[in-house]
Amino acid sequence: MEDFKDFLDAVCRFLPRATEEERAALRKELSDHLCDHAEFLEQCGVPPEEAAQRAVAAMGSAEIIGRDYNATLSPVWLLIGRICKTVSVLLILLSVGMLLNTGGNLAGNLKARFSPASYAMSHGQMLTQIPLDEKISVGRSILRCYGAGIGLDAQSEYFFYLDTVLYNRNPLQAAPQCTPLLEVAADGTVDRFGGGGGSGGAYWRQWCYALSYGAPAITVSITYAGQVTSLEIPLNWEGVP
């Protein structure tokens, strides 16, 4: 049946408009025809091999059949099929993108929950660390103040730093875009460094304020999403040169 296969392959080469289903349907119909004809010839005493060759020859030119058949096919279905395939691929890519994004959010969120200090944000030499872990929940947002201390900047001036991370209560969702506002009521100084970063899952920021040597405490007033929280943080200068 190699003759049949070659002939059917040749016809199918001239069917650029055909969908897979249309191509398969014509192939089957022509194959059935060839089998019927060859069977008839064999019943008439023709040897099988010759019967197959004669059946193929009786069909005529594979190119003419293919071209004539192709002309009867509407390109619309093929076009729709290709559009559907393209849309499917795009949807898959979009889904993968969303999945990866969700995964990114989850990773950032978990890091903020379990290991916030692993996000490096140092803007100077850290001299002391003050134990602190304060969480401010507003709606779906959590602003976590997880680190504070006294540092020394490049101009040999002392500063107070407060490390915060903002993340969503739902680990799969992105961190809220609302930025907290921090005010320091100690020396009346202003934020000097700012800085920070993060992914869609969590946003870290180090807030830095100039500080006079020996100040006993610092009050940080955090305004986030309309909610004001004040933290009274005692400063320990022991061991600070």
Partner 1 sequence: MKRKQVMAHTSLLVLALLSAEDMYGYQMIAALSGKLDSTFAMKEGTLYPILHALENDGSVTSYEKEAAAGKPRKYYHLTMKGKLQLREEQSQWRAYQRAVDAVVSSAVLA
**What is the binding site for partner 1 (CB under 8 A)?**
11, 25-26, 28-30, 32-33, 36-37, 40, 58-62, 64-65, 68-69, 71-74
CB of 5 to partner 1, least distance (A): 15
Closer CB to partner 1, 68 or 187, in the complex: 68
184-200 b/e (C-beta count within 10 Å ≥ 16 → b): bebeeeebbbeebebbb
Cα gap 149→222, rounded to integer Å: 17
CB of 107 to partner 1, least distance (A): 55
The two tokens of residue 112 are 């903020």
Q: Where are the alpha helices (DSSP H) in the chain?
A: 2-12, 20-43, 48-59, 62-71, 75-114
CB of 175 to partner 1, least distance (A): 58
Which is nearest to 241 in space by CA: 123, 95, 138, 127?
A: 127
Specify the length of the chain in residues.
241
CB of 9 to partner 1, least distance (A): 14
CB of 201 to partner 1, least distance (A): 56
Closer CB to partner 1, 44 or 154, in the complex: 44
205 near 145, Cβ under 8 Å?
no
Which is nearest to 73 in space by CA: 113, 29, 109, 22?
A: 22
